[in-house]
Amino acid sequence: MRAVVIKSFGGPEVLELVETATPEPGPGQVRIKVAAAAVNPVDAAYRAGFLAPLTEQGQLGLGWDVAGTVDAVGPGTDVAPGTAVVGLSYGPAALKAHADYVVLDASAIANAPATVDTVHASTVPLNALTAAQALDLLALNAGDTLLITGAAGAVGGFAVQLARRAGVTVTALAGPDDERLVRSLGADRFVPRGGHVEPHSVDAVLDAAVLGATAMEYVRDGGAHVGVIPGTTPESVRSVRVATVGVRADGERLAELVALVDAKVLTTRVAETYPLAEAAKAHTRLAEGGVRGRLVLVP
């Protein structure tokens, strides 16, 4: 099979499309024939060497999101071959979801949405789980106020929709051209990037844009701040509770999020698709910025 890997760190030019043996599922695992796999900023961070060393095989696979069809199962797995699924390929590994096939724990997958195609389905696992788990950490109640930075991005957009569904009042901070988008997702208020947010004015911040201490200033005394990248969350001040979401594979929660896609509560967004062999082009486009929706590789 083909797989996108890196054997050294750097820019998009270090991506390699290699031929490798098709992996076999072990106990409690499934093998998925990949139909679509989103490209996320974490893939670029892996490629640049920010998050993980090379594996013992001297390489790193890329791709956290996958949509496809189960084609083989390991012992003790009750998923039927032929099932359309989405899943999260969590953590560093020599082979991941930017490939023709990927092996995942059965606990990391859920049945695919029925109302969107596989390309759109592949944008759900990483970003929707990150948004949901970040909101869990914030532990907000209906009527609380939340500022979401980077609200037009994939994590931010899902967070806007999930927070509004929970009755939270959402202020969306995004690019100056993104007001129509974030309001369509349910934001109550829009603030353009660089615009004014009253200090200490919201109960919590979900800092998807990684503004750090700047975002912390918007939180009231005793409020909460959740970041999305380890090592970037600011120190607590004014009794503000701080945390960083570390996304976890969770098939049961993913199934709940898929149901929300089918119920039109969550909106999937795709910017462009690329063949697997053009993964470097997708990384180059991601680095250019301004992408609204995910870039997706289609084997």
Q: What are phi and psi of 248, to 5 degrees?
A: -120, 140
Q: How would you list the strands of the sheet with 60-61, edge to edge?
A: 15-19, 2-6, 60-61
pLDDT above 90 coverage of the chain, percent: 97
Is the entire prediction scored with pTM above 0.85? yes
Q: Which domain holds residue 286?
A: 2-124+268-298
User: What integer pLDDT is reported at residue 233 of this predicted model?
Assistant: 85
Q: Does residue 72 lie in a domain region?
A: yes
Burial class (CB in 10 A: 0-12, 13-18, 19+), 80: exposed
- Contacts (Cβ under 8 Å, ≥6 apart) of 8: 14
* 3-class state of residue 73 by DSSP: strand
Span 116-154, pLDDT tens digits: 999 999 999 999 999 999 999 999 999 999 999 999 999
Beta strands 29-39 and 65-73 are antiparallel
Phi-psi region of 231 (alpha: psi -120 to 50; beta: other; left: phi over 0): left
Question: Which residue type occupies 298?
Answer: V
176 — pLDDT class (breaks 50, 70, 90): very high
Q: Does residue 8 lie in a domain region?
A: yes
Span 219-261, pLDDT tens digits: 999 999 999 988 888 999 999 999 999 999 999 999 999 999 9
Domains identified in the chain, total number = 2
Span 3-45, pLDDT tens digits: 999 999 999 999 999 999 999 999 999 999 999 999 999 999 9
For residues 155 and 48, state if they share a domain: no
Q: Does residue 261 lie in a domain region?
A: no
Q: Mean pLDDT for the chain?
A: 97
Q: Does residue 260 lie in a domain region?
A: no
Q: What are phi and psi of 47, to 5 degrees?
A: -60, -35
Q: Does residue 255 lie in a domain region?
A: no
Statement: residue 274 has pLDDT above 90: yes
- Contacts (Cβ under 8 Å, ≥6 apart) of 163: 135, 140, 146, 148, 170, 206
For residues 66 and 139, state if they share a domain: no
User: What integer pLDDT is reported at residue 227 of this predicted model?
Assistant: 96
What residue has token string 């009527």?
A: 143
User: What integer pLDDT is reported at residue 269 of this predicted model?
Assistant: 97
Q: Does residue 176 lie in a domain region?
A: yes
Distance in angstroms (rounded) separating the CA atoms of residues 267 and 264? 7
For residues 99 and 156, state if they share a domain: no
Q: Does residue 257 lie in a domain region?
A: no
Here the CATH number for the domain that contains residue 233 is 3.40.50.720
